[in-house]
Chain A
Amino acid sequence: MGRARDIRLAYLLLAPALLLLLTALAYPVGWEVWTSLTDLSPVNDHPTSFVGLDNYRRLSGDPAFWRAAANTVAYAALTSAVKLALGLGLALLLARPFRGRALVFLAIFLPWAYPASVSVIGWYWTLSPPIPTAYSVFMGNMKYAVDGALGGGAWAFVSVTLFNIWRGSSFIGIFLLAGINAVPPELFECAALESKSAWRRFWLVTVPLLKPFLALAVFLALTTAFADLANVWMLTAGRIVYPVLGTHAYWLAIHGGQFGPASALSLTLAPFLLAVLFVLFRMFDPPDQERA
């Protein structure tokens, strides 16, 4: 039967991908859920025991956790909003062909294509230079001004936010540009005939047409920021002036060896992610939906 053959082929083709994902993803997630209910630790001298929801209970009473959570939310919301605005602007700028467009593409791809851990050092060097450097006085003054106005750790927060925006907004821009290219140009031309005001056109035509892409872009921006650990870690040089959930978990697991509490901490991200995912899937059809 043709159909039976197709189905067999389909599963055969999917098998390698699913197998790898299952072993390297599903199993770890299961492991993590289980571990979050135990006191597993490589430094334990007593056998691992099941502690139920203790790890979670302890977290909810820990002000440091709530501070990290608040930091995470602020960081994610702020960077996503700015990246989306900048990215959309960039996409609109690049929507038309012009001379040297490939070069511009190259330039704005670079931040994303560069290893973050490396470019983050560039930023660290720029924003928090060591004392005897040429412009350290200037940057130091900036830091005191910002920290003074907004409270301790604000300068670090600003640095990480700036870095995240720098690295992410051009990617969002190119992603949205793909969306613009996918919309039939007649729709935009038609809109140009109907409304003279570019501003109205933007809100009434461009934004609705791009909605699925915007939703996905928001999601990408939010999840990467929620889950961010490397950037924050690097840019504050491991001195956690203001912790986010990721760095908190890293510290607990890798340095403290407390796998149980660290797992619980990591898993608190899951509700955030699921909530965003849920909203996103309501806003547009899942990506596998075939277009007629």
Chain B
Amino acid sequence: MAQVMMKDLNKKYDEVHAVKDVNLHIRDKEFVVLVGPSGCGKSTTLRMVAGLEEITAGEISIGDRIVNDLPPKDRDIAMVFQNYALYPHMTVYDNMAFGLKMRKFPKTEIAKRVGEAAEILGIQELLKRKPRQLSGGQRQRVAVGRAIVRHPQVFLFDEPLSNLDAKLRVQMRVELKRLHDRLETTAIYVTHDQVEAMTLGDRVVVMKDGWIQQVGEPLELYGHPANRFVAGFIGSPSMNFVEMTVADANGALWADTPGLRVKVPPASAARLGPYKGQRVTLGIRPEDLRVATGADAADYSFDTVVEVVEPLGSEILLDLKAGPNVIVARVDPTVRAKHQDKMRLSLHPERVHFFDNKTELAI
């Protein structure tokens, strides 16, 4: 078990600068998830840690060794690939034993470790089969099993669940989490699914265009996104953004745009002061909106018209229009609404975010 450090890590392909100045300190036993849209450089970062991709500039260390020039086999890591990469000409047992055989473990030790891993993953019955005789979920388990028999210092996962169907994915997600709690091996996990990132990660790293956007615990990312991209990427359905002008009226700050006018909550007022008269972006999550009742302050309420109603059972998603602005709200399943209904909404004053229009950073 070991920590992983990345210092000013860069990767350039011929034309693409895929990873830019990544600095990351992954602590021992930590489960860190790299998340971001397709092509943002997550896999490239992971593959540099694995030694499969050459490092253009910067430094990676695992434990207290700098591994830049170490071939993959000497880094003491294990990796699970999206397509599982099971060796088709070997049985499940031989697949799992391969890494141990390469490291010249005695036969009895190999059998013991494979047995243990197979038991943890519930694949004892499959050991004699060839990979093509397995279902997608079983292959996935074998791939994980192959990684854990080696007791490596670090696990690397590159979208290991994305070839599974939705139900199986949720199930495997839980199992992976349990596995990590049990083995406590440092893990780096790449995914483009923010739900996976939030549920699995001790910390989550959000990437975009090769840059790290924010590193933090899941709830920190959710509650205090560093910029507009993270705010929109984390959370589903994603945060509503409305461009507004900051205006001074009756001694308080107001955010104003045709069809929508709300008071700037006191918590944000001080920081928004310098933006007086300028445009900013207001962000509010669908779950931080609710149907207004008499008890809600009028300052934080506004009128909308219902466009689309999406009942999900446990909740209802409403697509609404406040003037020209489209807003999604997540409301109680008891709310009765239909197309063209008028509806007054109220927002949660402590959960309003403001972003600078130019830098997109949170204000």
Physical contact A–B (CB less than 8 Å): yes
Q: Residues of A with Cβ closer than 8 Å to B?
A: 1-3, 5
B77 to chain A, nearest CB (A): 15
Q: Residues of B with Cβ closer than 8 Å to A?
A: 51, 54, 69, 71
Separation of A175 and B282 alpha carbons in the complex (Å): 62
Separation of A5 and B71 alpha carbons in the complex (Å): 10
Residues of chain B within 8 A (CB-CB) of A3 are 54
What 7 pairs across the A-B complex have the smallest Cβ distances?
A3-B54, A2-B54, A1-B69, A2-B71, A2-B51, A2-B69, A5-B71
Residues of chain A within 8 A (CB-CB) of B51 are 2
Residues of chain B within 8 A (CB-CB) of A1 are 54, 69
Residues of chain A within 8 A (CB-CB) of B69 are 1-2
Residues of chain B within 8 A (CB-CB) of A2 are 51, 54, 69, 71
Sampled A-B contacts (6; CB under 8 Å): A1-B54, A1-B69, A2-B51, A2-B69, A3-B54, A5-B71
Grouping DSSP codes into helix (H, G, I), strand (E, B) and loop, the A interface class, with mixed when no group exceeds half, is: helix
Separation of A178 and B71 alpha carbons in the complex (Å): 38
With CB as the reference atom, state the residue of chain B lying closest to A6: B54
Residues of chain B within 8 A (CB-CB) of A5 are 71
With CB as the reference atom, state the residue of chain B lying closest to A2: B54
With CB as the reference atom, state the residue of chain A lying closest to B53: A2
With CB as the reference atom, state the residue of chain B lying closest to A1: B69
B335 to chain A, nearest CB (A): 44
With CB as the reference atom, state the residue of chain A lying closest to B55: A2
A37 to chain B, nearest CB (A): 44
Residues of chain A within 8 A (CB-CB) of B54 are 1-3
**A1-B69, A5-B71 given. 6 additional CB < 8 A pairs?**
A1-B54, A2-B51, A2-B54, A2-B69, A2-B71, A3-B54
A182 to chain B, nearest CB (A): 20
Separation of A2 and B51 alpha carbons in the complex (Å): 8
Separation of A260 and B51 alpha carbons in the complex (Å): 57
Separation of A132 and B84 alpha carbons in the complex (Å): 71
Separation of A3 and B71 alpha carbons in the complex (Å): 10
Query: Which of A1, A2, A3 has the largest count of B CB atoms less than 10 A from its CB?
Result: A2
B71 to chain A, nearest CB (A): 6
B46 to chain A, nearest CB (A): 16
With CB as the reference atom, state the residue of chain A lying closest to B69: A1
Query: Which of B51, B54, B71 has the largest count of A CB atoms less than 10 A from its CB?
Result: B54
Residues of chain A within 8 A (CB-CB) of B71 are 2, 5
Separation of A5 and B54 alpha carbons in the complex (Å): 12
B98 to chain A, nearest CB (A): 21
Separation of A5 and B69 alpha carbons in the complex (Å): 11
Separation of A2 and B74 alpha carbons in the complex (Å): 12
B290 to chain A, nearest CB (A): 46
Separation of A3 and B11 alpha carbons in the complex (Å): 14
Separation of A3 and B69 alpha carbons in the complex (Å): 10
Separation of A65 and B54 alpha carbons in the complex (Å): 58
B56 to chain A, nearest CB (A): 11
Separation of A2 and B68 alpha carbons in the complex (Å): 9
Separation of A179 and B71 alpha carbons in the complex (Å): 38
A4 to chain B, nearest CB (A): 10
